[in-house]
Amino acid sequence: MAAITLDRIMALQAAYVRCIDSNAIEAWPNFFLDQCLYSVTTADNHRNGYQGGAIYADSKAMLVDRVQALRQANVYEKQSYRHIVGLPSILRNGGDEAEAETPFLVVRIMHDGNTDVFATGLYLDSYRAQGDELKLARRIVVCDSSRFDTLLAIPL
């Protein structure tokens, strides 16, 4: 089993945001373990220890359902996204498990070319090595703003 290194975390981050930004979100759940946690919350809620979030999924199956709903049930005007992620700071590394914090910025580009800051914040991640693959066991997306766009349906 390969050790978890900063290079491996950065490679996973790059592949993760490329998946979303290229609108290949059917592959997005594959970045997670079967038993995982994905949550989107605000900095205030996180600071106060509130567990709930605007988005909360505690399994890969729930992430797959979310993607299917985006593709089949929810219809939005054409738009695209661009993620910019900072360098991860490894907070703990136990060999086959690690925790890291990574700042992010996401912009949304609408069909008419209008571009806005969609979200900024931190990824609070727990990674686990599965053989030679690195997977997310937990991703808590802590958004700086307490205001969410109604199109927060997409993964951050």
CATH number of 6-143: 3.10.450.50
Which residues, other chains included, contact 151 with Cβ-Cβ below 8 Å and sequence gap of 6+? 76, 79, 108
pTM over the 0.75 mark: yes
Burial 13-26 (b: 16+ CB within 10 A, else e): beebbebbeeeebe
Q: pLDDT by residue for the chain (156 residues), tens digit each?
A: 678 999 999 999 999 999 999 999 999 999 999 999 999 999 988 999 887 778 899 999 999 998 988 778 766 677 889 999 999 999 999 878 999 999 999 999 988 999 999 999 999 999 999 888 999 999 999 999 887 665 677 889
